[in-house]
Structures are given as structure tokens and as C-alpha cells.
Amino acid sequence: MEKPLTERELYGKYISILLRLRRNDMGYTQAELEEKAGLARTTISNIERGKRTPESYTLSKIAIALGISLDRLNEEVWENVKKHKDNKSSALKHQYSDLFYRGD
């Protein structure tokens, strides 16, 4: 049986999903978003693949580049973490589970 994800791990998973969805909605490649946000190459890829959970400074730069407030982004992430933990719904996880494994 698989060990349940910690709250921190859930946050990382959902932030990676939501950032990728938002980036795709905006029509940006990972490289374009990195440039727009002033981030180092591979930063977005590492976040979206779950290799790295962004610190608040990095997350703030990404949110600004995507045209969403940091508060709203975090609100969306925590809503999904709570739903997942409450086991009421993990629809986002199931609907976008392929995003955990796909590249750009």
C-alpha cells in the first residue's frame, strides 16, 4: 500500500498542476514563462515535474508573470489540498494526473 502524501507533498503536487494549467492557458512555453518571470532556465520544468517546490519569492514572480495574485494562487492550491485530505474530492488530481508525468 502506498504511503499517503504529506500536506507539504500535496501542496507541491497541486502547485505544479495549477502552474502548468495556468501557463498552458496563457500559451507560454516553460522557457517563455521563465524569461517573463526573470527565472533561471529549468526552474519551471523542475517545479512542474515536482522536483522542486517554489519558495515564496519564486512563486510570487511566477504568479505576476501569469497575471494572478499570489493570494489567489495559494487559495486555489489550498482548496485542492483540503479537498484531497478530506477525501471529498480529488477530481483535480485524477483529471490532471497525467500532468505529473508529462513534459512540456
Q: What length is written for the chain?
A: 104
Question: Given this model, what pLDDT does residue 43 score?
Answer: 96
CA angle 21, 71, 12 (to 5 degrees): 50
Instruction: Say whether pLDDT at 55 is over 90.
Output: yes
Q: Which amino acid is at 66?
A: L
- Full-prediction pTM beyond 0.85? no
**For the chain, what are the domain ranges?**
7-100
Between 104 and 44, the higher pLDDT residue? 44
Q: Which CATH class is domain 7-100?
A: mainly alpha
